[in-house]
């Protein structure tokens, strides 16, 4: 069975940057299970999966534009530290939820001074070309429940309520 829209795909992956520095891998834990065509994956990887079958092993290069997008300097802002006075242990690398004109967004603290903090709203992998090594383990039709809920269910259902 070929990978196409609304197929459940179970895969292992390893992702690295253009200098072959490993960023993440599913080989150290459980494989990734997704419903193809739902936008769960970055566009460049999801497109590359189409028409592959079980046991396919392949490498795909995904440009930053088709991964997490380009970096935007305007997403880096320095703000008064008092805006985050309720946050304990404010340190470089901390992830915070910030309210923006577009709703809530995760930002990463990149600098802290006595009076100000600098946060970066870019995705940590924005602006980085990626390379994926992929192994397809399973391809099957998604069930009606999986399509309705928008995610893959394990044996016995998905384990949570959809009320």
CATH code, domain with 42: 3.10.50.40
Q: How far is CA 88 from the centre of its chain?
A: 27
pLDDT reported for residue 43:
96
Q: Any idea of the CA torsion for 86, 90, 93, 94, to the nearest 10 degrees? A: -20
Contact 110, 118 (CB under 8 A): yes
Mark the ranges of the chain whose per-residue pLDDT is less than 70.
Answer: 155-163
Q: State the pLDDT at residue 155.
A: 52
Has residue 155 been placed in a domain?
no
* pLDDT at position 158: 44
* The pLDDT of residue 100: 76
Judgement on whether residues 17 and 64 belong to the same structural domain of the protein: yes
Contact 46, 3 (CB under 8 A): no
Using DSSP, state whether 106 is helix, strand or coil.
Answer: strand
- Secondary structure tally for the chain: helices H, strands E: 2, 9
What pLDDT score does 82 carry?
Answer: 87
Domain that holds residue 56: 7-68+126-149
143 lies in a domain?
yes
In a domain, 113, yes or no: yes
pLDDT digits (tens, 9 = 90+) for 97-137: 887 777 888 899 999 999 999 999 999 999 999 999 999 99
Number of structural domains in the chain: 2
């Amino acid at each position: 069975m070929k990978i196409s829209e609304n197929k459940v795909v179970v895969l292992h992956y390893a992702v690295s940057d253009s200098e072959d520095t490993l960023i993440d891998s599913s080989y150290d834990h459980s494989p990734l299970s997704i419903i193809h065509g739902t936008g769960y994956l970055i566009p460049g990887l999801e497109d590359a999966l189409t028409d592959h079958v079980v046991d396919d092993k392949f490498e795909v290069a995904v440009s930053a534009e088709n991964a997490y997008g380009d970096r935007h300097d305007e997403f880096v802002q320095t703000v008064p530290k008092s805006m985050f006075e309720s946050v304990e242990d404010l340190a470089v690398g901390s992830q915070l939820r910030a309210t923006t004109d577009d709703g809530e967004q995760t930002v990463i603290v990149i600098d802290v001074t006595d009076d100000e903090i600098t946060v970066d709203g870019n995705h940590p992998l924005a602006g980085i070309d990626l390379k994926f090594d992929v192994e397809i383990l399973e391809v099957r039709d998604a069930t009606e429940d999986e399509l309705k809920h928008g995610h893959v269910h394990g044996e016995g259902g998905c384990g949570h309520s959809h009320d």
